[in-house]
Amino acid sequence: MSMAVDIREEIPIEDGVQVSVEGDTVKVKGPKGSLERNFDLRNIHVATEGNNVIVYSEFPKRQQKAMVGTIASHIKNMIHGAKEGFAYRLQVVYAHFPVNLGVQGNKVIIKNFMGEKHPRESQIAGNVKVDIQGQNITVTGANKEDVAQTSANLVEATRIKRRDPRVFKDGIYIIGKE
């Protein structure tokens, strides 16, 4: 019996990375960490063949074609994250009051922002490391979504409301991604 496959994506597994597929769960283990993700695999199949991960769908409709590409992209990010990791660089900008930053548990505490008496807090998502060196912040981790969410939380925590943004440019801004 021959199997007709209309759409298929092959993802090469990099050296030093192990990928296993168990049902709907894909596990990736590498030098920077291990990641696990559960996918909704209706009419989509994920398997490992040799040194590749194969995502395919038999007789796909438009939604399955889109999901094959999406799942393949997530697996590529998991492999890259387990091998090399992801990093976002942020910078603290202030003109009016010096800002003090510190990490406490799974939160970043932002003190003296715009002269406020109460500190602002930003949540750290997942297993992410936040390194603060003066005005520069580096957010690193193996999971791209957690690194991006932590960076977005820092930017959002210092968003200024009810003031003219042309005058008050204080805040934390993303300056680079790696």
Q: What's the Cα-to-Cα distance from 100 to each of 89, 149, 154, 169, rounded to whole Å?
A: 17, 21, 13, 17
- Which tokens go with 121? 């807090």
C-beta separation of 168 from 96 below 8 A: yes
Q: How far apart are alpha carbons 169 and 156 in whole angstroms?
A: 13
CATH fold of 86-177: Outer Surface Protein A; domain 3 (3.90.930)
Q: Do 86-177 and 7-83 have the same topology in CATH?
A: yes
Positions of E strands within 23-85: 25-30, 33-38, 45-49, 52-57
Beta sheet of 86-93, edge-to-edge order: 129-133, 136-141, 86-93, 171-177
Is the CATH code 3.90.930.12 the one for domain 7-83?
A: yes
**Domain spans of the chain, in order of start:** 7-83, 86-177
Sequence-distant (6+) residues with CB within 8 A of 178 are: 86, 87, 88, 89
Angle at 95 between CA 89 and CA 98, to 5 degrees: 75
* Residue 125 amino acid letter: A
In order along its 178 residues, the chain shows pLDDT tens digits of: 445 557 899 999 999 999 999 988 999 999 999 999 999 888 899 999 989 999 999 888 888 888 999 999 999 999 999 999 999 999 999 987 999 999 999 999 999 999 999 999 999 999 999 999 999 999 999 999 999 999 999 999 999 888 888 888 899 999 999 8
